[in-house]
């Protein structure tokens, strides 16, 4: 990836400083710009200028850093780290920071390190840059989507009466890693029966019985990029009610997906799906946005929402995931990943053609 393009969106900064702290404060922009395929890079930094990118890291990550091909500066102690940052920024007046990834402690430490600098927030610029996916990013997301789809097909034959939601969640994770995932891209959701009416349900010890919905929401992490898909099946023979719920959601997804193209407004795409569901007996049962951006984060940016004007652009990757949720009965969600193109979209998750009865 050409890291220089980030300055197309961050013209207000001479230099951008990306900081990582501990495990819970790692800025994924670090990996977005360096394309480091291995390493955690806790306590590391990037010094980014229009023509140079320098990785500042400890000996622990030196080999991973050098494998990126970028200039690497190593340190042994935090005192050395502070000295390096001061030296690298000594001729810089305005420093761009990704405020959205900084903790208050990190910011206060930085003020002590280089108190004379003028800091500007470039988090919006970074976010804008990350919305547009380079060809190598799209290749990784496509592979993450392939892995998730293959895992779903593999796991169908593993579903059996009496298994728990936790067991199926573990099986999905195992199948994704067998197919090449580093790990799941988020905590897998598995919900049986009436539990499927809760969109963000956490799998528990409920055992699967005949005639129940099985809702599975999962994704694969491949080379730091995510996929995100949801499949709903019925274990046994589906009732007419279950078929109607599924058909309604599938129609909402199909027609809204066909509204996706460059310059379409995400709000309008959401409305297509919402109008279909609200015209059915399930009015008011679609209780979340239609979709979100996808990339290094599962929720990379807003995209398809009733409350957000968002013009879609080519090379963006978004999810399309309408759902119907009826408390104490169950829920259906169908989610696929698509790449926005000039004249439409490219679906990268393998479609589910109709309701699967196991």
CA distance 198 to 253: 19
Spatial contact of 333 and 199, defined as CB atoms under 8 Å apart: yes
Nearest CA-CA partner of 98 in 36, 13, 39: 13
CA distance 266 to 259: 9
In order of their start, the domains of the chain are: 3-131 (3.40.350.10), 135-347 (3.90.230.10)
- Work out the number of other CB atoms within 10 angstroms of the CB of residue 110: 20
78-88 and 104-113 helices, crossing angle to 10°: 70
β-sheet bridge partners, residue 139: none
CA distance 38 to 40: 7
- Work out the number of other CB atoms within 10 angstroms of the CB of residue 241: 12
Residue in the block written with tokens 């996808």:
294
Encode the chain (358 residues) as per-residue pLDDT tens digits. Answer: 566 677 777 667 889 999 999 988 999 999 999 999 999 999 999 999 988 999 999 999 999 999 999 999 999 999 999 999 999 999 999 999 999 999 999 999 999 999 999 999 999 889 999 999 999 999 999 999 999 999 999 999 999 999 999 999 999 999 999 999 999 999 999 999 999 999 999 999 999 999 999 999 999 999 999 999 999 999 999 999 999 999 999 999 999 999 999 999 999 999 999 999 999 999 999 999 999 999 999 999 999 999 999 999 999 999 999 999 999 999 999 999 999 999 999 999 999 889 999 9
């Amino acid at each position: 990836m050409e890291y220089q393009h980030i300055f197309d969106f961050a013209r207000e900064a001479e230099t951008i400083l990306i900081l990582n702290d501990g495990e819970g404060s790692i800025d994924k922009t670090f990996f977005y710009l360096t394309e480091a395929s291995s390493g955690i890079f806790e306590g590391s930094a990037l010094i980014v200028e229009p023509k140079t990118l320098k990785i500042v890291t400890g000996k622990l990550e030196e080999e991973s850093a050098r494998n990126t091909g970028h200039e690497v500066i190593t340190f042994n102690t935090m005192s050395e780290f502070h000295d390096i940052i001061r030296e690298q920024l000594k001729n810089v007046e305005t420093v761009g920071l990704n405020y959205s990834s900084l903790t208050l402690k990190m910011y206060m430490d930085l003020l002590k390190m280089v108190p004379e600098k003028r800091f500007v927030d470039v988090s919006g610029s970074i976010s804008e840059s990350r919305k547009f996916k380079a060809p190598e990013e799209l290749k990784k997301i496509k592979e993450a989507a392939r892995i998730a789809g293959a895992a779903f097909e593999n796991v169908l034959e593993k579903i059996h009466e009496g298994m728990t939601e936790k067991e199926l969640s573990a099986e999905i994770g195992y199948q994704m890693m067998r197919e090449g995932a580093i790990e799941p891209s988020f905590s897998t959701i598995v919900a049986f029966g009436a539990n499927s009416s809760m969109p963000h349900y956490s799998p528990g010890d409920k055992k699967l019985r005949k005639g129940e919905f099985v809702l599975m929401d999962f994704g694969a992490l491949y080379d730091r990029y995510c996929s995100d898909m949801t499949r709903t099946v019925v274990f046994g023979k589906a009732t007419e009610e279950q078929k109607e719920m599924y058909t309604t959601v599938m129609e909402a997804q199909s027609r809204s997906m066909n509204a996706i193209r460059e310059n379409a407004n995400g709000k309008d795409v959401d409305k297509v799906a919402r109008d279909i569901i609200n015209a059915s007996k399930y009015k008011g049962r679609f209780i979340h946005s239609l979709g979100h951006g996808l990339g290094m984060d599962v929720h990379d940016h807003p995209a398809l929402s009733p409350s957000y004007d968002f013009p879609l652009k080519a090379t963006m990757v978004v999810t399309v995931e309408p759902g119907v949720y009826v408390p104490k009965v169950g829920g259906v969600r169908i989610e696929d990943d698509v790449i926005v193109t000039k004249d439409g979209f490219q679906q990268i998750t393998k479609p589910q053609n109709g309701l699967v009865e196991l």
